[in-house]
């Protein structure tokens, strides 16, 4: 029996609750075939079904990333989709499987970096988190990714700095701590008080 009938669009619902509930049911029952059907329908001709499916996949990834990690290359390919909702949804998904699918994601590092550079706000937000998680897995990953993260923090919009710095924090090492802090200090004078307060919390975390 198909699980697609439980998608929000197929129930004529405009909220995400059915998709969230379907994800929970698939996880609780360890329904591998159902999850595979959801992933396969990311290529469905119906835009509504595709959008519902990416939401279901993301909800699974947040809790049990191991159930969707085998499909990493499918999610990476969605970063090239003309459908922006699928692009940022795919990047959200990648942020949940970055650690356990690091080897696969590193093969497509250029694609992920490009999506961060040209993508929407959500794509960039989740892309920075994805890259930071990748950088934290292996030293060789760190060498290829951390300079990109630093350059991003130097040039991104001021209002993005706190969130992106918080995401990058997971990739900061003893050797790169000073470089990271220096970038934040250089940009701090241009921040609002709430933005600066968030960045100062990062200082305290690193300097404790």
7: left (phi over 0), alpha (psi -120 to 50) or beta: beta
132-183 pLDDT, tens digit each: 999 999 999 999 999 999 999 999 999 999 999 999 999 999 999 999 999 9
CA–chain centroid gap for 11, Å, is 28
25-52 pLDDT, tens digit each: 999 999 999 999 999 999 999 999 999 9
The position carrying tokens 């924090």 is 169
Among 181, 102, 104, 110, residue whose Cα is nearest residue 139 = 102
Domain edges within the chain: 1-68, 97-208
84-128 pLDDT, tens digit each: 999 999 999 999 999 999 999 999 999 999 999 999 999 999 999
Output the pLDDT for position 144: 98
Half-sphere exposure of 37 (CA within 13 A, CB side): 14
| Total-model pTM | 0.95
């Amino acid at each position: 029996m198909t699980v697609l009938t439980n998608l929000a669009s197929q129930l004529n619902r405009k909220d995400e609750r059915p998709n969230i509930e379907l994800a929970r049911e698939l996880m609780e029952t360890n329904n591998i075939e159902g999850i595979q059907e959801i992933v396969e329908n990311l290529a469905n001709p119906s835009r509504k079904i595709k959008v519902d499916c990416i939401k279901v996949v993301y909800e699974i990834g947040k809790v049990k990333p191991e159930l969707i990690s085998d499909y990493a290359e499918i999610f990476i390919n969605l970063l090239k989709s003309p459908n922006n909702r699928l692009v940022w949804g795919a990047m959200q998904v990648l942020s949940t499987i970055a650690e356990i699918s690091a080897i696969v994601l590193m093969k497509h590092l250029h694609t992920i970096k490009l999506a961060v550079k040209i993508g929407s706000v959500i794509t960039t937000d989740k892309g920075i988190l994805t890259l930071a998680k990748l950088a934290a897995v292996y030293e060789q990953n760190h060498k290829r990714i951390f300079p990109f993260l630093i350059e991003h923090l130097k040039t991104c919009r001021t209002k993005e700095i706190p969130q992106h710095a918080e995401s990058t924090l997971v990739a900061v090492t003893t050797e790169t701590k000073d470089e990271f802090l220096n970038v934040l200090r250089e940009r701090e004078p241009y921040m609002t008080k709430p933005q600066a307060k968030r960045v100062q919390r990062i200082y305290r975390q690193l300097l404790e």
